[in-house]
Amino acid sequence: MKQQIEKTPVLILGGGITGLTAALYLAQQGVDFILIEKHKDTSIYPRARTIDIRTMELFRALGIGEDLREGGKALAPAWGIIRGNNLMEALGNPVGKITPAQLMEAQKDMKSFAGKSPETVCRCTQDISEAILRKTAKKQDLNLRFYHQMLAFEQQENEVQILVENRATGEQYRIIADYMIAADGANSLVRKQLNIPVSGNGSWKDLLNIYFEADLELLVKDREFSQFLIDTPEITGFLLTINNKDKWAFHLRFYPENGETTADYPEEKLITILRHILGIPDLKISILKVMPWQLTVIIASQMRINRTFLAGDAAHTMTPYAGKGANCGVQDVQNLAWKLAAVLKHGAGDALLDTYAIERQRVGAYYAALSGELADENGLINSVLMLTKAKDLMGLPDYGYYSAAVKRETDLPFTYFIGEPGTRIPHLWLNESQTLSSLDWIRGQFVLIANSSEDWQVECDQVEQQLNINIQLVTLDDENIVEKWKTITHTNGHEALLIRPDDFVAAKLTSGNLLDVILSVLSK
């Protein structure tokens, strides 16, 4: 029987947080795609628990920010790290606890973000966030194919061919895609098959992720914590808060190098260990899932091979200690989606797609390396270093993009003033109720923000006529807003900022050169 062949502009491999976000951003850009995911549903494991400020800005633009905050509200009070021989002891006599004073000191710089973003850090476990993303995609009737597995792929000059199996029926079929986004995780089959060189620590510590139920709500009420660390001759590991009530995860250090396997940890033994680390000998405990994993730092040297793009963990696998893995994946695909759309819909040059790796590879590599530094010699988080990096881990981008997709007047290093080409668009509240931000102007489109009317609309119309690209023009006419905007962006009354669909400043313009700048940014 002849295999069915389907065609699509983009194939997304992986239905985790990175793949699902890629689906929503491609849909925002009006690009058709097929997403395949080998599992029946999104992950049941909590995994990542913190959504940083920048990623919340991205989810705000997709209209799901409040859903995520609602989904994570049970976890929201859980901050800080405690140590001890068992949880009861640590809560009663918190020796080694990160104190409120220390947290306030670490968060001093974080408070400065209050005026720089419409969003704040969100606590929401990855099982909940992925479920919200999938629900949002299903509402839009997007082409998500869970329980479909890629068996093989090959790239040709103008396409990627993928062999897929419907795991429910056993039926095999082929997909021919113009491009493929490989969001297939830390053990990426695509990365391995493409023989992409990697760097980093590799894998160096083994742990068991024990996801369990136990009613600890009264014990932790008003004494909430994020992590409890235990490091004794008998047990090394860390307990993570999931919902401050009955869901918890303990990551137990175990030793395959000494011949241990998961079979050496039957449920009865795990319950005994958990009762010991909690300090409650007769506590009722139900084991939900057990999964071995490794502290790993792997950084792909390339994020693009011909028509295939690595994103998220496939491109930069990191330990959970930096809390940046899922955040980097989301930010990767937001950067990539508009570029794919520009090529597929508007004839942008292939060089535009090269800027994806140029802009994102070093960002992912930085956070992956940092995540490795945050693991101490016993495989636990280095809480002292974590405190010093709090702003870097949860705040806003303090980096800029150097690439052909940014029009800069100089190749000198970034001064990082707000509004500089290559940096994220500045945030400015546009109303007294502080519900509308300048970031809300963007929403996945090119936007020209002009300090005066002049002839900018004529130039925007010219771009649309010649390139079929709609440039949303925002002309500032409120005198108070204009003066604030000019001050924070270092612009004068005759200048305008061109903002890319991913919220980054593409160029600072003067009247008469918008078309040329757009052509340059799109590598046309």
Q: What is the pLDDT of residues 313-370, one digit of tens each?
A: 999 999 998 789 999 999 999 999 999 999 999 999 999 999 999 999 999 999 999 9
Q: pLDDT, tens digit, for every residue of 90-144?
A: 887 644 455 545 555 555 555 555 578 899 889 999 999 999 999 999 999 999 9
Write out the H or E segment, with its range, that includes residue 252.
strand 247-253
Gap between the Cα atoms of 213 and 473, Å rounded: 53
In single-letter form, the type of residue at position 72 comes to G
Phi/psi zone of residue 476: left (φ > 0), alpha (ψ -120 to 50 degrees), beta?
beta
Dig out the tokens for 331 from the structure.
């930010």
Q: Coil, strand or helix: which one is 25? A: helix
Helices (H) and strands (E) in the chain, counts: 17, 21
- Pair (404, 386) in one structural domain: no
Half-sphere exposure of 255 (CA within 13 A, CB side): 6
Q: Which has the closest alpha carbon to 344: 26, 24, 6?
A: 26
Structural contact between residues 187 and 298, judged by C-beta atoms closer than 8 angstroms: no
User: Following CA atoms 100, 103, 109, 114 in sequence, which dihedral angle do they give, to the nearest 10 degrees?
Assistant: -60
Q: Quick one: average pLDDT of 365-389?
A: 85
* Entry pTM: 0.93
Q: Which amino acid is at 253?
A: R
**Distance separating alpha carbons of residues 482 and 127, to the nearest angstrom:** 43
Structure tokens at 97: 């606890």
| 386 and 445, same domain (yes or no) | no
- Look at residue 479 and tell me whether its pLDDT is greater than 80: yes
DSSP 98-153: --HHHHHHHTHHHHGGGGT-S---EE--HHHHHHHHHHHHHHTT--EEETEEEEEE
Whether 292 has a pLDDT exceeding 50, the answer reads: yes
Parallel, antiparallel, or unpaired for β 308-310 and 172-182? parallel
**pLDDT at res. 211:** 96
List, for residues 171-220, the tens digit of each pLDDT value.
Answer: 999 999 999 999 999 999 999 999 999 999 999 899 999 999 999 999 89
CA distance 372 to 379: 10
Q: Are the C-beta atoms of 24 and 104 separated by less than 8 Å?
A: no
Are the C-beta atoms of residues 80 and 225 closer than 8 Å to each other? Answer: yes
Domain boundary among 351, 366, 394: 394
- 359 touches 304 (CB < 8 A): no
Q: Same domain, yes or no, for 41 and 162?
A: yes
Q: What is the dihedral of CA 435, 438, 443, 445, to 10 degrees?
A: 160
What is the chain's Cα-based Rg?
24
> 107 CB contacts (<8 Å, ≥6 apart)?
390
The larger pLDDT score, comparing residue 53 to residue 384, is at 53
Instruction: Please report whether residue 108 resides in a domain.
Output: no
Give the Cα separation of 332 and 367 in Å (integer): 13
Same domain, 319 and 404: no
Confirm whether 70 is domain-assigned: no
The reply to whether 260 falls in a domain is no
- Kind and range of the H or E element at 286? strand 286-300
Phi then psi for residue 467, to 5 deg, are: -120, -5
pLDDT of residue 95: 44
Instruction: Evaluate whether residue 515 is within a structural domain.
Output: yes
The reply to whether 378 and 507 lie within a common domain is no
Query: Is residue 117 situated within a structural domain?
Result: no
Q: Give the CA distances from residue 519 to residues 120, 229, 347, 425, in Å, rounded to whole numbers and listed in that order.
A: 35, 54, 10, 21
Per residue in 422-456, pLDDT (tens digit) is 999 999 999 989 999 999 999 999 999 998 877 89
Q: Do 414 and 376 share a domain, yes or no?
A: no
pLDDT in tens, 388-425: 776 667 667 678 898 999 998 766 666 656 778 999 99
DSSP 3-state helix, strand, coil percentages of the chain (rounded to 5)? 35, 25, 40
Contact, 127 vs 45, CB < 8 A? yes
Instruction: Report the domain count for the chain.
Output: 2
Q: What percentage of the chain has pLDDT greater than the value 70? A: 93
DSSP conformational letter for 443:
T
CA–CA separation, 144 and 334 (whole Å): 18
Domain boundary among the residues 342, 365, 394 is at 394
User: Is residue 41, in this structure, part of any structural domain at all?
Assistant: yes
Judgement on whether residues 467 and 359 belong to the same structural domain of the protein? no
Structure tokens at 238: 């860390």
CA–CA dist 259, 215 (Å, integer): 34
HSE-CB for 127 with a 13 A CA cutoff: 11
Residue 338 lies in a domain: yes
Same-domain check for residues 404 and 380: no
Tell me, yes or no, whether 315 and 430 share the same domain. Answer: no
Residue 236 lies in a domain: no
Residue range of the domain that includes 38: 4-61+122-197+298-394
Tokens of 317: 């696998």
Q: Which domain-ending residue is among 361, 394, 427?
A: 394
User: What does DSSP say about strands 4-13 and 304-305: parallel, antiparallel, or unpaired?
Assistant: unpaired
Q: Which CATH number does the domain housing residue 382 bear?
A: 3.50.50.60
Let me know whether 160 and 39 are in one domain. yes
Helices (H), 29-86: 53-61, 65-71
In this structure, the answer to whether residues 415 and 387 fall within a common structural domain is no
Q: In 3D, which of 341, 349, 333 has the Cα closest to residue 181?
A: 333
The values of phi and psi at residue 315, to 5°, are: -95, -35
Based on the fold, state whether residues 22 and 136 are members of the same structural domain.
Answer: yes
CB atoms within 10 A of CB 68: 21
CA distance 188 to 421: 34
- Residue 477 is predicted with a pLDDT of 82
Q: Encoding tokens for residue 343?
A: 């090529």
